Amino acid sequence: MVERRPTLGILAHVILILGVLVVALPVYITFVASTHTAQEVVQRPMPMLPGSHFIENYTAALQGGSHGAGSTAAVGRMMFVSLVSALIITFGKIAISLLSAFAIVYFRFRFRMFFFWAIFVTLMLPVEVRIGPTYKVVSDLGMLNSFAGLTIPLIASATATFLFRQFFLTVPEELVEAARIDGAGPMRFFKDILVPLSATSIAALFVIQFIYGWNQYLWPLLVTTNEDMYPVVYGIKRMIAGGDSQNEWNLVMATAMLAMIPPALVVMLMQKWFVKGLVDTEK
Amino acid sequence: MEKRVVFRSGWLPWALLAPQAIVIAVFFFWPAGQALVQSLQQSDAFGTSVSWVGLENFQNLWNDETYLASFKTTAIFSILVAVCGISLALLLAVFADRVVRGATVYKTLLIWPYAVAPAVAGVLWLFMFSPSIGIVAYGLEAMGVDWNHLLNGGQAMTLVVAAAVWKQISYNFLFFLAGLASIPKSLIEAAAIDGARPWRRFWTIQFPLLTPTTFFLLVINMVYAFFDTFAIIDASTQGGPGKDTSILVYRVYYDGFKALDLGGSAAQSVVLMVIVVALTVLQFKFVEKKVNY
């Protein structure tokens, strides 16, 4: 701070606290709704303090089989599907990007720049602009309703490849020379030197890509028709059907809380890597 | 920039590239090519007959008033999302940059909505604004506002914009905070010694120096509003009432998967690809500028 201005200091805190409250309000209401019975939630106005049905509602949501108008599949299974697909997407992206960036930076071969640009162009083809034909490919390959169908089409990542390429270019040449003098082959150099050096970039990408994978919606909406394969983010939407009074909003809101917790935890606990990841990938 | 020292191997680089190359060929280039081909074809709903129609699908789009209306909806939606999201985030970032005590706490409490899935954000806001049970709708009614986003297109738009902005603020906030931190303290101190008050210092020093960040965020927020908000809209308004919140991406999905108009949907995909290319080019221009200032 340049000078002391008590009024401005107080104003800053007031505005920030207001901001924090407005940002937190939807989640607070969600939490309150998830701790009441379905009847209490649809009252006008709904209660503003947490109720006493916390354990009941969360167990009911996790196990499924309630009486709502929409889907009543078990949220426990959905959380598992989400976690597995998010992890496959995250590690898949990091792995194939590390390998292709290594090939592009450390080897000279024909069509090297062609591949580089081919990967670059995928930035311009998000899932949303090619949903119809991509769906057809996945269904022709028999990958509907499977983890492969949910994850593999989302694994290619231009951003991760670029990030690793930029990083590899800053690695001192002496390291390669030293490794070669000591008789290390390319894969040995990759495994023992390059990957450990990239640890911070990998951690940063992990946070960003985990959130990306967990929050997928459009793609699961297309490739899953079986309740067993719904990720939780899509499952919530399926729980809402018909009029407001037919839905068990308390369970829907409990599911929303469950769907928010894992990625929110990753962001808050790995805050440092998260910020680095955002700035590096500009995603 | 190139490496002086490289490894030599005939087959290894190909093996390393293979996984990435196969995935992008099968799931990116092949489908994108298909979209281009399909956009020139017309097929019936059962897929039994296909005929070449040239640019007719595009002409149909051009003549379709609802499609042009969807363009307008998308433009209004993305401008509202970008402007509201950026100005609110800037306000919070400027004050967060000022406070010393509790700065980390505020930061942590403001960044987590980034982790919330767009679909979940849509459900949360839908619940709060639901005309019959929502707490905010109840409050608005008490204040004399007759809220029903199921009937009123303007209110439905407000709802999706609010949900989209709520989710995006944390992202903008982080970038503004980083931008503010990179402005040399000496500039601000010099201005203060010359007698410029905080308000003046903000408009003459901090805001101009943040221009590259702001432009960058403008492009990113447009991309976000164009593509990533599909889930918010599908979870809250489903493009309704009528077509009042049906943005371009929602139409591609609706026409292709619900109305089964493959040719029309593919033509819309091609239009979207052109928009993404334009936005990406714009983004790279501004990213370069950001590096240079």
Do A36 and A104 belong together in one domain?
no
Note whether A234 contacts B: Cβ–Cβ < 8 A. Answer: yes
From chain B, pick out residues whose CB is under 8 angstroms from the CB of A30.
124, 127
**Is B265 in the same domain as B233?**
yes
**Residues A39 and A103 placed together within one structural domain of the fold:** no
Are B41 and B98 in the same domain?
A: no
What is the pLDDT confidence band of residue A66, given thresholds at 50, 70 and 90?
A: low
A15 touches chain B (CB under 8 A): yes
Range of the domain at A252: 6-75+232-260
Answer with the one of A202, A223, A244 that is the final residue of a domain. A223
Same structural domain, B46 and B62: no
In a domain, A279, yes or no: no
* Alpha carbon distances (Å) from B42 to A136, B49, B55, B262: 17, 8, 10, 7
Among residues A175, A198, A223, the one where a domain terminates is: A223
Write out pLDDT tens, residues B19-31. 999 999 998 888 8
Q: Are residues A144 and A219 in the same domain?
A: yes
Could you read off the pLDDT of A130-153 as tens digits, one per residue?
888 888 888 888 888 888 888 888
Check residue A271 and give its pLDDT.
Answer: 82
User: Is position B3 within any domain?
Assistant: no
- Local confidence band at B51 (pLDDT 50, 70, 90 cut-offs): confident
pLDDT band at A34 (very low <50, low <70, confident <90, very high): confident
Would the CA dihedral through B64, B65, B71, B77 be positive or negative?
negative
Q: Which candidate in B112, B165, B202 is best for mutational testing of the A interface (most A CBs within 10 A)?
A: B112
B163: pLDDT confidence band, cut at 50, 70 and 90? very high
DSSP 8-state symbol, A46? P
Size of interface A-B (CB pairs under 8 A): 295
From the CB of residue B12, how many other CB atoms can be counted at a distance below 10 Å?
18
How large is the average pLDDT for residues B152-160? 88
pLDDT band at A38 (very low <50, low <70, confident <90, very high): confident
pLDDT of B89 reads 94
How many CB atoms are located within 10 Å of the residue A196 CB? 9
If you ran DSSP here, which 8-state letter would residue A107 be given? B
**Domain-embedded: residue A273:** no
- H or E element in which residue A136 lies: helix A131-140
Give me the number of domains chain B comprises. 2
Residues A149, A215 share a domain: yes
- Out of A126, A132, A275, whose CB is closest to B262? A132
The answer to the question of residue A272 being in a domain is: no
Residues A218 and A84 in one domain: yes
Residue A265 lies in a domain: no
Asked whether residue B31 falls in the same domain as residue B152, the answer is no
Q: Do B249 and A128 touch (CB under 8 A)?
A: yes
Whether residues B96 and B122 fall in one domain? yes
Q: Compute the CA torsion angle B130, B134, B137, B141 (nearest 10 deg).
A: 120
- Do B156 and B223 reside in the same domain of the chain? yes
On whether both B39 and B74 belong to a single domain, the answer is: no
Flag whether pLDDT at A73 surpasses 80.
no
Residues A37 and A109 in one domain: no
Residue A178 contacts B where some CB pair is shorter than 8 Å: no
A217 with A120, same domain?
Answer: yes
Both B185 and B281 in a single domain? yes
Distance CA B3, CA A7 (A): 56
Same domain, B43 and B159: no
Please give the tally of structural domains in chain A: 2
CATH number assigned to the domain comprising residue B119: 1.10.3720.10
Inter-chain CB proximity B118 and A217 less than 8 Å: yes
B28 plus B105 within the same structural domain: no
pTM of the model as a whole: 0.87
Q: Average pLDDT in the A113-122 region?
A: 85
Whether A101 contacts B235, CB under 8 Å: no
* Cβ neighbours of A281 in B, within 8 Å: none
Q: Are A273 and A106 in contact (CB under 8 A)?
A: no
**Is beta strand B41-43 parallel, antiparallel or unpaired with respect to B50-52?**
antiparallel
The answer to whether residue B251 sits within a structural domain is: yes
Do B187 and B121 lie in one domain? The reply is yes
Tokens of A22: 């407005």
Residues A118 and A156 grouped into a single domain: yes
Q: How far is CA B185 from CA B97, B98, B149, B182, in A?
A: 12, 12, 47, 9
Q: Around B104, how many Cα atoms within 13 Å sit in the side-chain half-sphere?
A: 3
Question: Is residue A193 located within the same domain as residue A248?
Answer: no
**Would you tell me which residues 155-174 of chain A have a C-beta closer than 8 angstroms to some C-beta of chain B?**
155-156, 161, 169, 173
Quick check: is B275 in a domain? Answer: yes
- pLDDT at residue A67, as a whole number: 66
Q: Is residue A123 part of a domain?
A: yes
Is residue A266 a part of any domain in this protein?
A: no
| Any domain includes A270 | no
Tens digits of residue pLDDT in A150-203: 888 888 778 888 888 888 988 888 888 888 888 888 899 999 989 999 988 898
Tokens of A134: 């991509």
Together in a domain, B200 and B259: yes
DSSP secondary structure letter of residue B144: T
Output the average pLDDT for chain A.
85
Domain that holds residue B34: 12-52
Q: Is B262 part of a structural domain of the chain?
A: yes
Q: What is the CATH number of the domain that holds A215?
A: 1.10.3720.10
Q: Do A100 and A210 belong to one domain?
A: yes
